[in-house]
Amino acid sequence: MSVLEKATLILDAVAESPEDATLTSIAQRLGQPRSSTHRLLSELVQLGVLFRVGPANYVPGPRLAHWASSAGAAEDIVRIAKPIMVGLRDDVRESVHLYVRQRDRRVCVSAVEGSYELRHFSEVGKPLPLSVGASGKVLLAFADSVTRAQELRRVAKEPLTSRAPSADELTAQLADIRETDWSMSFGEREEGLAAAAVPIRDRSGQVLAALSISGPTARLTAERLEELRGQLSAAAQRISESQGWSPDGAPGRMWLDDRGASGPISPAAAGR
């Protein structure tokens, strides 16, 4: 086991510990002697990656907190997702959007517009409701129960548009989205616009964002969106893997090429 791998396992142990991680518990998790584990812990403390509280207890340090904050920012997801989105746009010849949830709204944080549409309205940075549109319904489906209940009450009181789903319809749709990881909409938010969306997850499996394809309803029928489902889902999976998610529950470790294609890191590649 390399020193870097040991250090990574130490950080995992500290981050996942419900209480302050101790030297003994960390050494046992690594299966390493206390002496060598202590040396690594001391170096990580000196670097500010960990912080020692008490004689042999450790918590995440300021540098680790800074890394976590930077890695979790929307800008970081956009930077990683952009080449994948461009590749998807060029493959499906439709506009591609990335949405994140902010409170009880969604915000488009990245858009790759298709040059194949007669018209397209950019929504980057504009707050949009969760209860209409394919991406909004994905984020709502995996939101906390309080947010879902609030949106359902709002829909029951007054639908946002003439083609917006009713509260009962939305309830059924959200359940189906949680089951299938797939959402579609046709003119719900804007007349003449169709879209499909799938979730993007982080290391723990929580939904961070929604990736969508959109275009005119005349071109993007339900049948056409179903045809594009595999490509959209594959692109979302690559972005999710970059955030540490893996379908089998193991931490994702991926590389991305210039077009956003991905693959597992091989021992040879990891050593470069």
pLDDT in tens, 172-196: 999 999 999 999 999 998 889 999 9
Please tell me which residue, 140 or 120, carries the higher pLDDT value: 140
Architecture of domain 3-63: Orthogonal Bundle (1.10)
pTM of structure: 0.66
Any idea where the domains of the chain sit in the sequence? 3-63, 71-242
Q: How confident is the model at residue 124 (pLDDT cuts 50, 70, 90)?
A: low
Average per-residue pLDDT for the chain: 82
Residue 208 in 3-state DSSP? Answer: strand
Fold of 71-242: Beta-Lactamase (3.30.450)
Closest CA to 221 of 199, 198, 192, 197: 192
- 249 dihedral zone (left: phi>0; alpha: psi -120 to 50; beta): left
